[in-house]
Structure formats: structure tokens, C-alpha cells
Amino acid sequence: MQRVILDTNVIVSALIQRNFPYLILMELYLERNFQLCMSDSLMAEYFEVLSRDKFARFPDFRLKANSILLDIERNATFFQPTKQVAIIKDTDDNMLLELALECNADFLITGNNNDFVFSNYEDTKIVTPRDYWESFKPA
């Protein structure tokens, strides 16, 4: 089974509109078609970002966010990264690479093309939600 990390921006996009992040979250993650890899720091970021007031304008955002967060807490596989990485200028994004190393992730899915300008990190492919859906999703 694929080991996947979802950047926070993918979760936010999935809760706002029906696009590739939505398909990945609803049709693949919730159906347990891949193993979602998580760390405490990434989970904390999910909670912090998804509770921002700016998202309250989207219908049922908080309700959907709380439901997804609860599911992730219960069903994701948690890892505690032991190596620190300082590759990306936005230091918060380095935690994703640290998690990728620790869990030996197959994919890091992100919509952040500004900071993730490389397509691989160690053995992890870094892909957009569209690329993952069209080329790498589990059959």
C-alpha cells in the first residue's frame, strides 16, 4: 500500500471545492486506498490552519474539517521524525520532508509549487494533486 503525505493546502482545497484534492481525500483516503502518514507537528498544523476564521465563509467548512481531522487522528499512521531538514526556505515545510524520511513515503502531495521546486526527495515523489490523481493513484 502506498504511503502518502498530504500537505495542509491539499486538505484545505479538498474542503473548499470539488477538485483533485477532493477526489484524493474522499475517494482514496476515506476509502483507505493508501496509508496516510502523519506526525504530531503536521497534525497540529492541520488543526491550526483549518480553524482559521477566513475559512468560515465556506459552507459547512468547520463541520467537514472537524470530521476529517477526527478521522485522520484515528486512522492515519503517526511517525515521530528523528532527523531535521533545512532545505526549504519556508521552514514549516521542512517538517514534511522530515516526515517523508521517517515514514519512507512514496508520495508527498502538495499544491505548493513555490517551495517544492523539486520532484523527488530521497525516495519520495513530490507531486501535485492533479499529477497524483492522473498518474499515481492506486488502481
Residue 34 has pLDDT above 90, yes or no: yes
Q: In 15-123, where do the E strands start and end?
A: 35-38, 77-78, 107-109, 120-121
Residue 48 has pLDDT above 90, yes or no: yes
Asked whether 4 and 35 are in contact (CB, 8 A), the reply is: yes
Query: What are the structural domain ranges in the chain?
Result: 3-136
Fold of 3-136: Rossmann fold (3.40.50)
pLDDT score recorded for residue 139: 77
Closest CA to 88 of 50, 52, 126, 38: 126
Residue 12 has pLDDT above 80, yes or no: yes
CA atoms of 138 and 38, how far apart (whole Å): 19
State percent of the chain over pLDDT 90: 91
CA atoms of 4 and 106, how far apart (whole Å): 6
Asked whether 9 and 111 are in contact (CB, 8 A), the reply is: yes
State percent of the chain over pLDDT 70: 100
